Chains A and B, each alone.
Chain A
Amino acid sequence: MPSASDHRRSDRPASAQPPDGTEQRSPHGTAPSSDAGSARRTDPPVRVLVVDDHPLWRDGVRADIEADGRARVVAEASDTDTAISAALRERPDLVLIDLNMPGLPGTTAIRRISDQLPDTRLLVLSASAAEPDVLEAVKAGASGYLLKSATGAELTRAVQQVASGEPVFSASLAALLLGEFRRVAAGGDHDEQQLSDRETEVLKHVARGYAYQEIADRLVISVRTVQNHVQSILRKLQLNSRYELMRYAIHRGMDREDD
């Protein structure tokens, strides 16, 4: 299940945590340290656009992420077109978006928004984990994927993580990305970005379930380096996706990217 951190148990009281406080078993991409965390609390709240065609879900999400005051829902939308125009108007820090909505597919909205607002992050929220959708969404510009069955705490954590620029990679997503990059490598197109050996190592570790700190320990590098690798992987993936689209458009004899 490609959820960022589907662990009900890790919300246990502190006594259940291991003595080594720096190892957090939770999300892949842990909040770097408590110092940065408290600094963020004094930052202005993250401005969020919520896109979902079920009003109940939107209310639930709003309640969850506004609970600790670190995020604020500035706009809502219930279909793709409204989502795009709301994003362009409000310029949120983060867009929470469901893929299955009336109108144009969610991935189109993701691509449009990430094209035109490069500083806005996107996080997909969905009921089903249909894998082609996951991959397409991330390729189109989403920084990660969260199941709707995630708890409120998981949601807020993911929101903060993505807003600060870090992807939310689950093990399943990492495995999907491995498959995708292998497909690219087998295609033999030298213009397409390929993963470096180090990046493949990191991605495989994420797929096997290691947290960033654990990966850093195993590969004898810093957590910051691991995070950089992950961000680089995402960037390469999204670059390749654009490149493929362009090539497709040119091949079809059109000179504008198709919708």
Chain B
Amino acid sequence: MRRFERRSWLPTRLREQLDQRGRGDARASAGLAPALLSGPALLASGVLAIRWALIVWMAILAVSGASALPPPEVRVVVWLLVVAVAAAHTAWRPGWSPLLLLVDLVVAVLVAVTGVRYPAFATVYPAMTALHWGAALGVGGGSIAGGLIGVVLFVARLQPSAIPQPPGFGVTVRAGADVVNLVLAGGGLGYVATLLRRSASSVRAAQDAELRARERAARLTERESLGRQIHDSVLQVLAMVHKRGRELGELDTVPATQVTQLAELAAAQERTLRALILRVPDEPAVDDRQVSLRTALEDAAAQVGGEVDIEVAAVGESSLPVHQVEQIRAAVEQALRNVVQHAQATRAWVFVDDEDTAVVVSVRDDGRGFVYDESQLRADGKYGLLRSICGRITELGGSTHVDTAPGRGTELQMRVPRPDDDTSAERSERAVRE
């Protein structure tokens, strides 16, 4: 699509309109919208088809050597120009360019003037140009093109070389009739094109409104479900903590474990509630196919619990397709359980980062570490767990790396490449929305 920005000699508003028109028609006829929306482009294609048929007819006429036509060299040149214009129009489909339209107009005038005696040249071919201008530029464009050619034709017809004597009224009228014809043709089709464009934009507006309404409904449902979840889990536990706390307060000696349990309960609900809250976006929902990896991992960490304090740090939401998130979540949950059961750690961290082409997750603990010797681990029967974690990641096309040593804690790094069709442009757009 030619851009009009560099055409500084065009007034700005006209430039913008032309640009928009050209792009709009192209997008429409590229099949991205219902058939109704590609109206103007369809019209132009129809005109083009007739144009090609006419070219064949003009070739036949030119070859048959009708006497009143200009000499063969002129005929060939004109015919070649006509073919060139038609070919250019065909190549430029579904859009159009102003330069091409102007060239089209000039060639049409040329054809009209050289073949002034033959309707095929004088009026039918120029009518194609006028029609094309109408389809591309609307009523105004079509009428202007038709009028211009018509006037030139009129003047050419009344030349002394064309008619022997000064024209009478009847001859003048007949000569001028074609001006009206051409203007009507160009303007008429232009009007149709304008109508089609207007109805296309109102359909699009209606579709947008519908989409927004659907999003709003989805968000409301999400809010309702959130309210239910909070009621079901968090409020119940809060009530229990309240009750239990009061009961413990009435005892003479308060068992420490029970108090710690209460604290754990409250902490677990704190985490759950936070995760729930952070998950509800105010902006339009993320694409259905993708879910937030960060939320999934926060859930996983909340579920593992136990003696180890787990902290989830994420740079962003890291949205990925559902199945990938599930696998990574399972792997991280296994790794965390591993830490709780074997590492003798006090703390663990899950770090989620978004690189351009991949998502990186690291699970680290401050436990006792181990010697990462595969054969030894297999002999001890401890290889299975590690392998299932790494297995899940390699299934996703990713890689894992274990960094550990006795007394130095353990870090498990997982790297999962993003799906190919997920360009960074889309992702940053989503990130802005999140």
Q: Is A97 an interface residue when CB atoms closer than 8 A count as contact?
A: no
A interface size (C-beta, 8 A): 29
Structural contact, B313 and A130, CB atoms closer than 8 A: no
Q: Is B349 an interface residue when CB atoms closer than 8 A count as contact?
A: yes
A6/B311 contact (C-beta < 8 A), A129-B274, A179-B316 known: yes
A130 to B407, alpha carbons, bound, how many Å?
35
Contact with B along A1-44 (1 / 0, CB 8 A): 10000111110000000101000010000000000000000000
A171/B278 contact (C-beta < 8 A), A1-B271, A179-B316 known: no
Structural contact, B316 and A174, CB atoms closer than 8 A: no
A144 to B357, alpha carbons, bound, how many Å?
32
* Chain A residues, CB < 8 A from B313: 170-172, 174-175, 207-209
* Chain A residues, CB < 8 A from B352: 175
Structural contact, B347 and A186, CB atoms closer than 8 A: no
* Chain B residues, CB < 8 A from A6: 309, 311
* Chain A residues, CB < 8 A from B307: 9
Structural contact, B309 and A7, CB atoms closer than 8 A: yes
**Shortest distance between the CB of A40 and any CB in chain B (Å):** 26
Choose one: A25, A174, A179, A204; the contact of B347 (CB below 8 Å). A25
Choose one: B316, B347, B353, B411; the contact of A7 (CB below 8 Å). B347
* Chain B residues, CB < 8 A from A179: 315-316
Q: Is B64 an interface residue when CB atoms closer than 8 A count as contact?
A: no
- Complex: chain B residue closest to A178, CB-CB: B315
CB interface residues, B 95-148, toward A, < 8 Å: none
Structural contact, A7 and B346, CB atoms closer than 8 A: yes
How many A-B contacts at CB < 8 Å in the complex? 73
**Shortest distance between the CB of B281 and any CB in chain A (Å):** 12
A204 to B407, alpha carbons, bound, how many Å?
22
Structural contact, A131 and B364, CB atoms closer than 8 A: no
Structural contact, A204 and B428, CB atoms closer than 8 A: no
A106 to B428, alpha carbons, bound, how many Å?
30
Choose one: A25, A149, A171; the contact of B267 (CB below 8 Å). A149
Choose one: B270, B274, B316, B362; the contact of A208 (CB below 8 Å). B362
Q: Is B177 an interface residue when CB atoms closer than 8 A count as contact?
A: no
* Chain A residues, CB < 8 A from B349: 171, 207-209
Q: Is B366 an interface residue when CB atoms closer than 8 A count as contact?
A: yes
Contact with A along B240-283 (1 / 0, CB 8 A): 00000000000000000000000000010011001001100000
Structural contact, B411 and A208, CB atoms closer than 8 A: yes
Q: Is B348 an interface residue when CB atoms closer than 8 A count as contact?
A: yes
A7 to B345, alpha carbons, bound, how many Å?
11
Structural contact, A131 and B278, CB atoms closer than 8 A: yes
Q: Is B351 an interface residue when CB atoms closer than 8 A count as contact?
A: yes
* Chain B residues, CB < 8 A from A149: 267, 270
**Shortest distance between the CB of B347 and any CB in chain A (Å):** 5
* Chain A residues, CB < 8 A from B270: 149
**Shortest distance between the CB of B433 and any CB in chain A (Å):** 14
**Shortest distance between the CB of B340 and any CB in chain A (Å):** 12
Q: Is A240 an interface residue when CB atoms closer than 8 A count as contact?
A: no
* Chain A residues, CB < 8 A from B83: none
- Complex: chain A residue closest to B314, CB-CB: A175
* Chain A residues, CB < 8 A from B309: 6-9
Q: Is A128 an interface residue when CB atoms closer than 8 A count as contact?
A: yes
Structural contact, A172 and B315, CB atoms closer than 8 A: no
Structural contact, B311 and A10, CB atoms closer than 8 A: no
Contact with B along A207-221 (1 / 0, CB 8 A): 111100000000000
A18 to B346, alpha carbons, bound, how many Å?
12
A175/B346 contact (C-beta < 8 A), A7-B309, A25-B366, A149-B267 known: no
* Chain A residues, CB < 8 A from B277: 130
A51 to B267, alpha carbons, bound, how many Å?
24
Q: Is A198 an interface residue when CB atoms closer than 8 A count as contact?
A: no
* Chain B residues, CB < 8 A from A129: 274
Which of B278, B314, B348 has the most CB atoms of chain A within a 10 A radius of its CB? B314
CB interface residues, A 189-206, toward B, < 8 Å: 204
Structural contact, A1 and B351, CB atoms closer than 8 A: no
- Complex: chain B residue closest to A175, CB-CB: B313
* Chain B residues, CB < 8 A from A1: 271, 274, 311
A207 to B363, alpha carbons, bound, how many Å?
11
* Chain B residues, CB < 8 A from A178: 315, 353
A176 to B352, alpha carbons, bound, how many Å?
11
Choose one: A128, A174, A182, A209; the contact of B274 (CB below 8 Å). A128
A18 to B405, alpha carbons, bound, how many Å?
14
A170 to B311, alpha carbons, bound, how many Å?
9
* Chain B residues, CB < 8 A from A25: 346-347, 366
A211 to B309, alpha carbons, bound, how many Å?
15
**Shortest distance between the CB of A151 and any CB in chain B (Å):** 11
- Complex: chain B residue closest to A210, CB-CB: B364
- Complex: chain B residue closest to A132, CB-CB: B278
- Complex: chain B residue closest to A1, CB-CB: B311
A8 to B347, alpha carbons, bound, how many Å?
10
Q: Is B47 an interface residue when CB atoms closer than 8 A count as contact?
A: no
A129 to B366, alpha carbons, bound, how many Å?
24
* Chain B residues, CB < 8 A from A7: 309, 346-347
* Chain A residues, CB < 8 A from B366: 25, 209
A209 to B311, alpha carbons, bound, how many Å?
9
* Chain A residues, CB < 8 A from B346: 7, 9-10, 25
- Complex: chain B residue closest to A12, CB-CB: B346
Q: Is B312 an interface residue when CB atoms closer than 8 A count as contact?
A: yes
Chain A contacts to B: CB under 8 angstroms:
1, 6-10, 18, 20, 25, 128-131, 149, 170-172, 174-176, 178-179, 182, 186, 204, 207-210
The contact sample of 29 A-B pairs, CB cut-off 8 A, is A1-B271, A6-B309, A6-B311, A7-B346, A9-B347, A10-B346, A10-B347, A25-B347, A25-B366, A130-B278, A131-B278, A149-B267, A171-B351, A172-B312, A172-B313, A175-B313, A175-B351, A175-B352, A178-B353, A179-B316, A182-B315, A204-B351, A204-B353, A207-B313, A208-B362, A208-B364, A209-B349, A209-B366, A210-B364
Chain B contacts to A: CB under 8 angstroms:
267, 270-271, 274, 277-278, 307, 309, 311-316, 346-349, 351-353, 362, 364, 366, 407, 411, 428
* 18 other A-B residue contacts (CB within 8 Å) besides A7-B309, A210-B364: A6-B309, A9-B309, A18-B407, A25-B347, A25-B366, A131-B278, A170-B311, A175-B313, A175-B315, A175-B352, A178-B353, A179-B316, A182-B315, A207-B315, A207-B349, A209-B311, A209-B347, A209-B351
